[in-house]
A and B are shown apart, each in its own frame.
Chain A
Amino acid sequence: MSGVLDPGLPAGASEGRARRSERFRGGTLGPAGSVAAVVVAVAVLAAVWPALLGGGDPLAVHPADALTPPGPAHPFGTDESGRDVLARVVAGTRASLVVGVAATLVGGLTGILLGTLAGLGGRIVDAVVGRVTEVAFALPLLLVALVVIAVTGPGPVPATLAVGFATAPGYARIVRGLVRSARSSQVVETAVLQGRSPGRIVFRHVLPAALWPVVAVATLGVGQAVVWASALSYLGVGTPPPAPEWGAMLADGRTYLLTAPWMSTFPGLAIVVLATAVTVLGRAVRRTGAVR
């Protein structure tokens, strides 16, 4: 129903806060959500403290051990320079998570900004922002990325920015729709009739209504961002070597797809598992958060 559009948030802040804190009790996440939460926690741990989870130096080169299949010494095998794939996958969690999250943040925040503007503004503002987002949509992501990188040089920051700006229009469009609907919802109408200030209405009622769905989309967006970043690595404009980054590892592993499939399987699995977990977790959180 009009669930998220009309969240029925109580006018009183304290009650709202109490409600919100209830949402994160473990039991409300459900089985899938709980598993996803664990996976994400492990990933965050790996990003923060890689040494705890995967042994070894991800950069240590041992040509003699090159291309060994998974075994007791190297659970994920080694790559073409003898580096331990497990160590690289664990170490790569940080790079990939950071790129994925940062790009999504960049895109999401830009999108929220644009969308709120469009949603709250009058005809003209809406039209202008609409055109701006259309233009942004119209430029293919990879063109934007290639141009940004041709200007600034390769690296994680340009890739992050490029992916972020390219995904912003999507968020903007969603936020705009949600803000518009929230604007015309009963709660807001009531608040208007009660004479509350516009600012208070926006921040208390309109924005929260718009944000939760965006969070849910953003969680899927993190996975997408990691994947787009890996596409940039494939095209040769991503994170410079020898830094472990799942996308770069996937791209490098393609050369050895037939002779050493473990080089691409494990980073690929990591991308898929993390992206899935973040998505499922996001959904679960939103479900418990939304009241219906």
Chain B
Amino acid sequence: MDRALTGEPAGRPAPRPPRTGTRRGWSAWVLWGLRRAAGGIGVLWAVATIVFVAIRLIPGDPALAILGGPGSQASAEAVEAVRREYGLDRPVLVQYAVFLGRLATGHLGDSYAFRTPVSELLAQQVPVTLTLAVAGLVVAWVLAIGAAWWSTQRGRIAAALTGAITVTASVVPHFWLGSVLIVVFASALGWVPAVSDGSLRGWVLPVLTVAVPVAGYLAETVRDGVVDAQRSAFALAARGRGETRVGLFGRHLLRHAALPGIALSAWAFGSLVSGAVVVESVFALPGIGRALVTAVTQRDMPLVAGIALVSAAAYVVVLAVADLVERAVDPRTRDRRPAGRVGRVRVRTQGRVDAR
């Protein structure tokens, strides 16, 4: 049962009867929103703490990083002055408290290297990476659905070929794929620019590069889901009703196959942001991925922290969106409650949901 590989299985433990209110009441959604917000804040706090600790662990004096790097001739007085100014001479816990306090009020500080507010830098760079990731996800889904169609509806040879292509696609390294695409489509054919230049065409290759590996992974999942769905009773019934193959595929099969894919998309988003680090370097996109590499190299702590937090926040939002979409697509998931511990017998008043 390949669907089980990919996340929450479609067959879920039996939902308990709701304790209060109606299933689809506003209160349920508000509660959901609050729960997720609280969880999100928790995640951000944890990420901030991890970043703080990690940066302390990286060898190197932050005062030197502020003064332009270890190759500088900064005098002892300058180093001392910087230490005082940035509060680096205070005890670690105090620094942590100050750090958290500033974050809570939305101050991400100034970049050590660029001496400009981190929020300004992020405001310029985050949209680029976000565009890359979202566009990459969309393209990946399109490719995955196409691959699923080809591998399930077009016969055995197509299926085998598509299967081979998707597995290959999922293990192609970004930097290599990017360079090959540049050489073929930009240098040799001249259809698109080699590096980003602000135009729409300049986005084609980077988006493709970042989307292909994810598409490979997604295609497997969607294909398995479609195969499963094809065998089910309702599919046969739909065919019996005269539904066309395309209609069946689009309206019914995909819907059921998409569910695990949605959970996977959340993971894929993180993977896309990671891939962006490499892709932005290859295609010269001014996003946070590229900035991250430089920031770590330069020990630019505020910028590293800012980027980590933005990625975490984006991820929290993506997870929430994925959850929403799951609930929208599959009504059965709306009142999930975790089952009790093993060892306690539960008497169920409702039958188990058909684990189809």
Residues on the A chain within 8 Å of B175, using CB: 231, 234, 250-251, 254
Contact A257 B171, CB 8 Å, known A120-B341, A139-B47: no
Q: Judging by beta carbons under 8 Å apart, are A134 and B342 in contact? A: no
Residues on the B chain within 8 Å of A268, using CB: 172-173, 176
Q: Judging by beta carbons under 8 Å apart, are B355 and A254 in contact? A: no
Q: Judging by beta carbons under 8 Å apart, are A184 and B312 in contact? A: no
Tell me how far the C-beta of B341 lies from the nearest C-beta in chain A, rounded to whole angstroms: 6
Query: How many A-B contacts if CB must be within 8 Å?
Result: 204
Q: Does B1 contact A (CB under 8 A)?
A: yes
Q: Judging by beta carbons under 8 Å apart, are B267 and A170 in contact? A: yes
Q: Judging by beta carbons under 8 Å apart, are A178 and B4 in contact? A: yes
Residues on the B chain within 8 Å of A178, using CB: 4, 9
Q: Does B315 contact A (CB under 8 A)?
A: yes
> Which residues from 122 to 149 on chain A have a C-beta closer than 8 Å to any C-beta of chain B?
122-123, 126-127, 130-132, 134-135, 137-143, 146-147
Taking CB as reference atom, which chain B residue is nearest A132?
Answer: B46
Q: Judging by beta carbons under 8 Å apart, are A257 and B179 in contact? A: yes
Taking CB as reference atom, which chain A residue is nearest B6?
Answer: A174
Residues on the B chain within 8 Å of A140, using CB: 270, 273-274, 277, 289, 292, 308, 311
Q: Judging by beta carbons under 8 Å apart, are B342 and A137 in contact? A: no
The binding surface of chain B is classed by DSSP as helix
**Residue from the list B11, B267, B352, B355 in contact with A137, Cβ < 8 A:** B267
Tell me how far the C-beta of B140 lies from the nearest C-beta in chain A, rounded to whole angstroms: 15
> Which residues from 87 to 137 on chain A have a C-beta closer than 8 Å to any C-beta of chain B?
120-123, 126-127, 130-132, 134-135, 137
Q: Which of B51-59, B66-74, B86-94, B189-197 contacts A (4 or more CB under 8 A)?
A: B51-59
Tell me how far the C-beta of B267 lies from the nearest C-beta in chain A, rounded to whole angstroms: 6
- Could you give, for residues 184-228 of chain B, a 1 whenever the CB lies within 8 Å of some chain A CB and a 0 otherwise? 000000000000000000000000000001000100100000000
A–B pairs, 24, beta carbons within 8 Å: A1-B356, A2-B11, A5-B4, A134-B319, A138-B311, A138-B316, A139-B47, A140-B274, A140-B292, A141-B271, A142-B289, A177-B7, A181-B12, A188-B342, A227-B173, A227-B213, A231-B173, A235-B278, A254-B179, A258-B183, A264-B176, A268-B173, A271-B173, A290-B1
